[in-house]
Structure 1
Amino acid sequence: MAYENSIAALPALAAHPMAKPGYGKRSAPDQKPPRRGDFDHLPAREAYLAALLDRLCENAAMDAKTLAKAQPLYGQQAVRSALNELGRAGHLRRVRRRIQPEQGGTGTRWVFHTYWSRTARDDEWWARFLDGDVPPETDAAGDVAPHTLHGASADSPQPKPRPTPEPQRPATSAAYNALAQLGLRDPRLALSSADCAALEELAGDWLARGVTAEQLVQIVSAGLPEDVHSPRAFVRRRLVDKLPPERPAVVAQLPRTLMECTDCGVPGRPEALPGGLCRACGCRDGSVTREPTEVRPSAVRARAAQVRAAIRTPQRA
């Protein structure tokens, strides 16, 4: 095959450029181990470049310009077309991920990754991976495939049953813990376990309105009188009187992760980018058939009436 004959032309990767921090190649999880014939289902050009991409290390540059310089057979435009085909075949997706601004910073920062999978995946798998929900692969019998069990093998002996753990004390709520912190902040507000349980619901209303536990402790313990005769009654009064207002509904934010068109880079949800391509790029490459533009009957009748009126109107000499 042309693919097998071109394997010898694969370049050494020691000097392959790395992408900028936050960019470059990322390997998809739960891939099968490499074997001969991994890319036999692809055309020669795509199989050659797939073998090259599979050998690249993490964070390696994956743009068409760099890949065209990294091998001797295909130019930049051919590499771009091959990347599109590898996306359609399920081996590649480009993703942008929104990260929170650093402390004190403003604005939104995005990092860009090109995810590579030696094992071809369908659009549904990539969509679930984008949402952080990728189950391990299963074999025909429904068992988890051996290559998805990290650190285990099919011949490993069955582990011995673990001893039954001792029952643990139920975890206390964040509201209960905040009330318990009041006595540590100021001894005048020391509450018993029963006091914390009785005031837990009131404190929970604060947390439900977006107040953190630290903020609750700070507000309730600020400006204390010299003597607090009944800490429980005093804290209850402050929890009721200083209850913060309900916050307005938060406007929906952009998703933290977006897929990108492999060709033009336009962002979108996975369902809008079948095969990793937007509609415009898919139509240009001939993978998507354009639907004929529908003309409404009312528009046809209106245009016909205009033509008839123009014919009946006498023209001036």
Structure 2
Amino acid sequence: MAKTGYGKRLTGDEDPHADADFAHLSPRDREIAVFVDHLDEGHAMGYKAIAAVHPRYGQQAVRTSLGRITLAGHLRWIKEHITVEDDSMRWVTRTYWSRTRRSVEWWEDFARERHGKDVTEDHMPGLARVEDIEEAVSAVEQPEAEEPVEQPSGAYRTLADLRSVDPRMPLSDGDCRSLEALAQEWLSRGATALDITRALTDGLPPTVANPGGLARNRLENKMPPKKAKIRQKAARRAHVSRVIMACGLCGADERTTEIVSGLCRECIELIEAEGPAYGAVPDTFLPGPRGGSALPGADEVIDVTERVEALRRAAGLR
């Protein structure tokens, strides 16, 4: 999940789920679109974070498919300039998802409607997306943790340490557990572990016959007063004072480049150069050096790779 206020955000007013939701996409893009559609709202939407949890596709495949899904009208990155009541200002990048396919004009209207929105309960400092991608990737790569061992509370440790502070107060494990709630109440009222230690060790008689009983008596009789409740300061009001479209792949925005259907020109060219999702095999993936093969009963040696490329060109494939 992304930090609060970031991550996947629904546009609202969508059509009900249907088998044809992503029928206009290629098979791989359709599979990734369905995967994203089922992510919880607030999930990190960077391609690295999605690839870290996707069972089939890696970062490059997810990145390319997210680009095509954006061009198809399901996804937009919108930078919102937030102005806070204390006159502080910041940029945040929102990721908006729509299962229903939207037109360019629809997204433009949606962005304009964000202008002036009250985001008092929904803003954080930042200049770009905040997705904790590194943490998401490392969390997936780490093996399952062993069952955690229950650790003693601070109140219990304070009581158990009394024997090292004053040998006259050697509380047993049973004593510590029975007195733990009283010591915890001290801590909740603002007392420190040192305050508890002093209350239980100052002015002790030469010998203590019942350390547990004496500790209980002092914890109950010397209990500090409850802390007065402090009224929490109301959140400073904030609103969206400017809205601009950003490229979903590189993060560039309308201040520095032209955004077309959610992507910059350069990223669109890169996606187009990669061909369809199921498509062309780059030359670097073809076997080499090119070999030949003779048909049975023939003397001619055929360059298999060249013949395959000729057939692909004849069929109009890249």
Higher-strand-fraction structure: 2
Fold match by TM threshold 0.5: no
Provide the TM-score with structure 2 as the length reference: 0.43
Provide the TM-score with structure 1 as the length reference: 0.44
